[in-house]
């Protein structure tokens, strides 16, 4: 569905672009586009991998890849290269490729909006607002000042306006990754950075709308007055605020209407369709399409669909967004960096952009109890520029302001390279970031313990199923950490599935609901176990005295010969009770060096025996388990002097031949193959009689492996 949607969009765009131009071979243009997209995907991935190995932000690798393969670099030295400067294009690439890049920017901002945590923003709204406002104001003024005093433009010149707007945009994704790795996301500095980034993004988008309005007014020949600027600001803020309020107001109703429209993936694609349409409506009222996409994502972030949208559109994000960054790099005319004035302006612009965020975002925090070190951490966290700055630069390039794009790329490269190591150094400093101790309201937690990892995994699957039936959208945030989130309306459950525990974090009023869910899930799980025992009890195909054809193949005997050791056969067991027999055989395996942890082995074999006895009939018992107490499959064979009952049922009574098998709890072990082979061999009554009449361990092995 996603591919069909994108193809339809591309064909629609192509049809509009080439209407009335019948002499252009559309099929050839589409073929070129397909080849270009393929090359971009490979270049993006290679740049991503290389920069990741260098411990640098992957976005820089994609930008660099775009610069290298673009029409202004490789395209100039290789005449047959598929990327050549497109004639009459202000951005240097074909309209089709720029159209795909535009769709990618909408997807990016839509998902950025869907990831926004409005609750966190409201909790830290005061300090976050000042951080965001301070950063935007100082950054805009200083960014535009570079255009005025360094390049020699006017304050109302489109290039100065766009340089000011670009300087306001913060890319908090890089900072968030650093905070996560340092486990500082929940610190006062971390939360303040993230809350300030919300305000920063909102104000930056409004500043973009104001800037585009001022540029449009100037290009139309009208004069730009402060009254006009105020009108643009009020209109932009009003449209944004009104659209956001309306979107949040109807979001829950809209989510309920969309939910029956198909699977989660289909519903997520429908929400993206809404974002594209809303983006188009915003463009019609002279606001950028990315603003409409951001508002749409922000509206859905308050619903249970917010996490689901991020999860289901992640594949589309991985496909489109790297294309966006590579194409942004392709638009850079590298020859401009050879111009000393552009290079000097870019370096000055970058230095001022860094200082603007440190001062504009850091100083306001001092009014809320932060220390100078805490203020520095907040300021450094707001320094990186990224996708929004590049989107603004792309808009500028599309309007003929190509010089802005080179400066933006240089500023983005330097700020994303400089900020991470400085932020790490700031957090490594043990100076407190706040004058008061952190006072975080820990969410109430309910923890449930289970006997082993297998049971935990099964219970987690049942819990997810139960929550889905209750109308929750569930999302696995971090598979490695076993971290899940389930959301329905305003109820949010954070679930962590560990080795032998499942823990829930939620608001206090949601904990009773969690307890009910667990009780019902456990009850259903017990019903499933009871139902599973029934066919095993009724079915006689594993009994040794059944009438099935005996499998006496050489392959099965070879399996037995490979795993049955001479020194692991006990001719006569001393113990006369089930548990003691198991302990004696395990101790023997430990003595001959087959066990790493005999106590664990005893515990796990006996536990497995309590769950389901392993008597298989005809005087044979086959205790077994998966355990970390062994590195390879091991087997011990013992013969009792007198019959021993392994259970009260018919199969478990009067056992004399005991086959004990242990295997590591890892894939690849021939566990079931070995057990099947030895039980198949023992279906032969003559073989069982020969084993019982054997005079030593060698005779037992010979009787077991002799083909009957």
Q: Which CATH number covers residue 663?
A: 3.40.930.10
Asked if residue 466 lies in contact with residue 520, where contact means CB atoms within 8 angstroms, the answer is yes
Q: Any bridge partners for residue 659, and if so which?
A: 637
- For the chain, how many structural domains are there in total? 3
| Same structural domain, 652 and 529 | no
Q: What is the mean pLDDT of each run of 10 residues along the chain (708 residues)?
A: 41 40 66 88 90 76 85 82 71 80 84 70 71 89 88 79 83 62 68 74 72 70 64 73 84 83 84 90 76 83 77 84 84 72 82 92 88 90 74 68 70 76 82 67 71 84 81 70 75 83 82 81 73 54 43 67 85 88 90 88 86 82 87 89 84 87 78 79 85 87 78
- Mark which of 512, 537, 562 sits at the end of a domain: 537
| Same structural domain, 571 and 479 | no
| Same structural domain, 267 and 171 | yes
Q: Any bridge partners for residue 505, and if so which?
A: 445, 494
| Same structural domain, 53 and 119 | yes
For CA atoms 259, 264, 270, 272, the dihedral sign is: positive
The answer to whether position 515 is within a domain reads yes
Report which secondary-structure segment, H or E, holds 485: strand 483-488
Distance CA 563, CA 677 (A): 11
431 dihedral zone (left: phi>0; alpha: psi -120 to 50; beta): beta
Backbone angles phi, psi at 575, to 5 degrees: -70, 155
Instruction: Provide the pLDDT for residue 352.
Output: 92
Q: Any bridge partners for residue 617, and if so which?
A: 620
Parent domain of 453: 445-537
Q: Any bridge partners for residue 663, and if so which?
A: 626
The CATH number of whichever domain residue 327 belongs to comes to 1.20.1530.20
The answer to whether position 449 is within a domain reads yes
| Same structural domain, 364 and 480 | no
| Same structural domain, 519 and 585 | no
The answer to whether position 435 is within a domain reads no
| Same structural domain, 227 and 291 | yes
- Mark which of 384, 401, 428 sits at the end of a domain: 428
SS3 of residue 262 by DSSP: coil
Instruction: Provide the pLDDT for residue 141.
Output: 92
The answer to whether position 230 is within a domain reads yes
The answer to whether position 91 is within a domain reads no
Q: Any bridge partners for residue 258, and if so which?
A: none
The answer to whether position 227 is within a domain reads yes
Distance CA 580, CA 646 (A): 11
The answer to whether position 439 is within a domain reads no
| Same structural domain, 369 and 458 | no
The answer to whether position 542 is within a domain reads no
The CATH number of whichever domain residue 477 belongs to comes to 3.30.310.10
| Same structural domain, 406 and 452 | no
**DSSP for residue 602:** H
| Same structural domain, 400 and 480 | no
For CA atoms 488, 491, 494, 497, the dihedral sign is: negative
Distance CA 702, CA 687 (A): 10
Helices vs strands, H then E, count in the chain: 27, 11
Count of beta carbons in the 10 Å neighbourhood of residue 175: 27
| Same structural domain, 451 and 338 | no
- Mark which of 428, 459, 493 sits at the end of a domain: 428
Asked if residue 167 lies in contact with residue 139, where contact means CB atoms within 8 angstroms, the answer is yes
| Same structural domain, 343 and 466 | no
């Amino acid at each position: 569905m996603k591919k069909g949607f994108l193809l339809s969009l591309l064909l629609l765009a192509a049809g509009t672009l080439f209407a009335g131009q019948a002499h252009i071979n559309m099929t050839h243009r589409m073929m070129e586009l397909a080849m270009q997209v393929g090359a971009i995907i490979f270049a993006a991935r290679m740049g991503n991998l290389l920069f990741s190995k260098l411990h640098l932000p992957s976005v820089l690798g994609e930008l660099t890849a775009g610069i290298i393969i673009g029409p202004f670099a490789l395209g100039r030295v290789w005449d047959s290269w598929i990327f050549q400067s497109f004639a009459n294009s202000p951005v240097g690439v074909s309209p089709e490729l720029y159209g795909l890049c535009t769709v990618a920017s909408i997807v990016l901002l839509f998902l950025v909006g869907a990831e926004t945590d409005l609750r966190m923003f409201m909790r830290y709204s005061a300090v976050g607002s000042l951080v965001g406002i301070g950063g935007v104001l100082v950054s805009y003024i200083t960014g535009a000042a570079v255009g005025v005093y360094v390049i020699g433009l006017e304050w109302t010149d489109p290039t100065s306006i766009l340089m000011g707007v670009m300087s306001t945009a913060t890319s908090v994704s890089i900072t968030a990754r650093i905070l996560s790795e340092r486990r500082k996301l929940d610190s006062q500095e971390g939360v303040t950075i993230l809350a300030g980034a919300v305000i920063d993004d909102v104000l930056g988008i409004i500043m973009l709308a104001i800037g585009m309005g001022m540029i449009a007014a100037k290009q139309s020949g009208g004069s730009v007055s402060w009254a006009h600027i105020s009108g643009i600001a009020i209109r932009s803020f009003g449209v944004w605020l009104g659209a956001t309020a309306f979107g949040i107001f109807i979001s829950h109703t809209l989510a309920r209407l969309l939910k029956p429209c198909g699977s989660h993936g289909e519903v997520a694609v429908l929400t993206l369709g809404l974002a594209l349409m809303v983006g188009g409506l915003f463009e019609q009222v002279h606001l950028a399409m990315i603003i409409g996409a951001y508002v749409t994502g922000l509206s859905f972030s308050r619903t249970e669909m917010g996490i689901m949208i991020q999860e289901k559109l992640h594949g589309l994000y991985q496909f489109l967004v790297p294309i966006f960054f590579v194409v942004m790099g392709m638009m850079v005319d590298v020859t401009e960096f050879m111009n000393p004035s552009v290079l000097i302006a870019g370096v000055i612009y970058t230095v001022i952009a860094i200082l603007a965020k440190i001062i504009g975002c850091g100083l306001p925090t001092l009014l809320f109890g932060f220390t100078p070190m805490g203020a520095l951490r907040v300021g450094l966290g707001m320094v990186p520029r990224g996708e929004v700055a590049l989107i603004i630069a792309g808009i500028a390039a599309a309007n003929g302001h190509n010089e802005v794009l080179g400066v933006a790329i240089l500023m983005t490269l330097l700020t994303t390279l400089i900020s991470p190591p400085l932020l790490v150094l700031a957090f490594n400093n043990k100076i407190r970031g706040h004058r008061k101790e952190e006072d975080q309201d820990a969410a109430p937690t309910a923890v449930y313990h289970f006997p082993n990892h297998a049971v935990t995994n099964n219970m987690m699957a049942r819990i997810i199923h139960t929550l889905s039936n209750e109308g929750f959208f569930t999302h696995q945030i971090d598979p490695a950490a076993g971290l899940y989130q389930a959301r329905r309306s305003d109820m949010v459950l954070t679930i962590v599935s560990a080795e032998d525990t499942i823990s829930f974090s939620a608001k206090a009023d949601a904990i009773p609901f969690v307890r009910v869910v667990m009780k019902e899930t456990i009850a259903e799980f017990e019903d499933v176990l009871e139902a599973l025992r029934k066919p095993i009890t009724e079915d006689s195909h594993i009994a040794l005295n059944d009438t099935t054809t005996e499998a006496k193949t050489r392959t099965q005997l070879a399996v037995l010969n490979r795993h049955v050791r001479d020194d692991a056969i006990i001719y006569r067991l001393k113990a006369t009770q089930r548990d003691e027999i198991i302990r004696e055989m395990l101790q023997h395996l430990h003595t001959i060096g087959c066990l790493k942890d005999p106590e664990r082995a005893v515990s796990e074999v006996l536990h497995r025996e309590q769950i389901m006895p392993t008597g298989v009939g005809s005087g044979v018992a086959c205790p077994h388990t998966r355990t970390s107490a062994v590195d390879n499959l091991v087997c011990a064979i013992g013969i009792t002097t007198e019959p021993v009952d392994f259970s009260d049922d018919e199969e478990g009574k009067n056992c004399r031949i005991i086959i004990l098998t242990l295997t590591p709890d890892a894939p690849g072990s021939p566990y079931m193959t070995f057990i099947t082979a030895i039980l198949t061999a023992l279906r032969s009554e003559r073989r069982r009689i020969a084993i019982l009449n054997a005079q030593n361990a060698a005779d037992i092995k010979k009787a077991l492996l002799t083909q009957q």
